[in-house]
Amino acid sequence: MNSKERVLTALRHDEPDRIPLDFGSSSVTGMHVSCVAALRDYYGLEKRPTKVHEPCQMLGLLEADLLDAMGADVVGVIPRKTKFGYANDRWKEWNFRGLDVLVGAEFNTSEDPDGSILIYPEGDLTAPPSGRMPTGSAFFDAIIRQSPLDDEHLDPRDNLEEFGLISDGDLDYLERSVQQAALTGRAVFGGFGGTSFGDIALVPAPALKHPKGIRDVTEWYISTRSRRGYIHQVFEAQCELALRNLAAIHDRIGNFVEVMYVCGTDFGTQTSAFCSVPAFRELWLPYYKRVNDWVHANTKWKTFKHSCGSVARFYESFIEAGFDVVNPVQCSAAGMDPVQLKREYGSRLVFWGGGVDTQRTLPFGRPQDVREEVLRRCEIFAPGGGFVFNAIHNLQAGTPVDNIVAMIEAVHEFNGLKRG
């Protein structure tokens, strides 16, 4: 099997010749730029700065030579614009705490008196900053820029400012990018945007210079209970735009994408959940179902749902909503035992992740600890297909490169492969 066939087989819940491996295809299956740079050095690849394609989390772009060295089976189509609203183009050098990296030309920052690094929407230094990297941190936190709220004058259109019909320029970009990705022989993972439905990373609107509406994270969570009619109006209008955009995108790219990233809204915490199952079913499920139903009726794409934390309680609803794939499969959270998950949902959901714990084992364990956990997770998730190997969310800054390599080699060991 080639990489694309391998992934498609796993997505059909059939067992491929070996477990497909994904790293770097999306904003939730990637690596911190420092990890990417360390891996390039480890594999002896050409010395050059790594591109930061997602600045919020400072994710590095895994280029073809590194994907080859790792034996990856999936390639992602990175968005034309970042979460801070500037384009991933005309790359320039930036020194990130001693590491030379490449960032888009409109990536502009300043330093706060306390040593924090501030980043600006669309790179506009005259606008209020929308992100902050505290001293000692390795990624940007969104800055809350909430105007005073007046319930009598709240307008759902204000929370839709960042959504709209896709431009011809963005369609051209997607068409070129998807075609190039398809030529690699790997399965193509596409994230098109617009279907987030309350992704808390996007609520503060870091790409907007002067966001209006409900932009405070706490206030948004409160609103899902106290202003549910308002949230429905936002989601309804957003869904209508998303469906129109998906139709335009599919007209351009066809079925050259295997997996579509639908949403990264988190519903779980380490020990519990952000909402009840009935609340999820009333507020989110109808919109997810409309998107998934359209995708399945009009394309061959599989749909991908990311949600951290203790979310097994939502899996039946995810299935009803039409999701094919779940990620990151946070086995360390309450009620997320991998054996139980595989037994109860393995024939109905593809597990894209769960391969190793990125909170403890990968950053703080020994290479042997990493190897043993990876082999055990592969033993659990691989039988019968329905598994694409990825860690539990992105690899974080400071993760020892020896542990990352131990993870990759353990997957290949399980697959019966030997790589240099």
Work out the mean pLDDT of the chain and round it to a whole number.
97
| pLDDT given for residue 71 in this prediction | 97
Taking residues 173-195, report their average pLDDT: 96
Residue 101 pairs in a beta bridge with 50, 94
| pLDDT given for residue 266 in this prediction | 97
Alpha-helical segments (H) within 155-302: 168-182, 217-226, 228-253, 277-283, 285-298
> Are the C-beta atoms of 81 and 395 separated by less than 8 Å?
no
Alpha-helical segments (H) within 47-95: 64-70
> Are the C-beta atoms of 60 and 31 separated by less than 8 Å?
yes
Name the pLDDT band for 419 (thresholds 50, 70, 90): very low
Query: What are the domain boundaries of the chain?
Result: 3-48+62-85+145-414
Q: Tokens representing 86?
A: 């500037």
Instruction: Say if residue 98's pLDDT is above 60.
Output: yes
Q: How many CA atoms lie within 13 A of 263 on its CB side?
A: 26
| pLDDT given for residue 126 in this prediction | 98
Taking residues 282-290, report their average pLDDT: 98
Name the pLDDT band for 417 (thresholds 50, 70, 90): low
DSSP strand pairing (131-133 vs 92-96): unpaired
Residue 303 pairs in a beta bridge with 260
**Coil, strand, or helix at residue 152?**
helix
- Hey, how many other C-beta atoms are within 10 angstroms of the C-beta on 211? 23
Cis peptide before 55, with omega less than 30 degrees from 0?
Answer: no
Residue 326 pairs in a beta bridge with 305, 351
Distances (CA, A) of 266 to 329, 373, 402: 12, 25, 30
Q: How far apart are CA 404 and CA 201, in angstroms?
A: 26
Among the listed ranges 116-120, 189-193, 302-306, 391-395, which one has the minimum average pLDDT value?
189-193
Q: How far apart are CA 13 and CA 298, in angstroms?
A: 21
Calculate what percentage of the chain has a pLDDT beyond 70.
99
Alpha-helical segments (H) within 272-418: 277-283, 285-298, 315-321, 338-345, 361-364, 367-381, 401-414
**Structure confidence by residue, pLDDT tens digits, 209-248:** 999 999 999 999 999 999 999 999 999 999 999 999 999 9
Residue 317 pairs in a beta bridge with none
User: What's the topology of domain 3-48+62-85+145-414?
Assistant: TIM Barrel (3.20.20)
Distances (CA, A) of 110 to 67, 86, 115: 34, 16, 10
**Structure confidence by residue, pLDDT tens digits, 247-261:** 999 999 999 999 999
| pLDDT given for residue 418 in this prediction | 46
**Structure confidence by residue, pLDDT tens digits, 346-390:** 999 999 999 999 999 999 999 999 999 999 999 999 999 999 999
Taking residues 3-31, report their average pLDDT: 97
> Are the C-beta atoms of 266 and 308 separated by less than 8 Å?
yes
Name the pLDDT band for 289 (thresholds 50, 70, 90): very high
> Are the C-beta atoms of 63 and 54 separated by less than 8 Å?
no
| pLDDT given for residue 19 in this prediction | 98
**Structure confidence by residue, pLDDT tens digits, 126-156:** 999 999 999 999 999 999 999 999 999 999 9
Calculate what percentage of the chain has a pLDDT beyond 90.
98
Phi-psi region of 315 (alpha: psi -120 to 50; beta: other; left: phi over 0): alpha
| pLDDT given for residue 420 in this prediction | 39
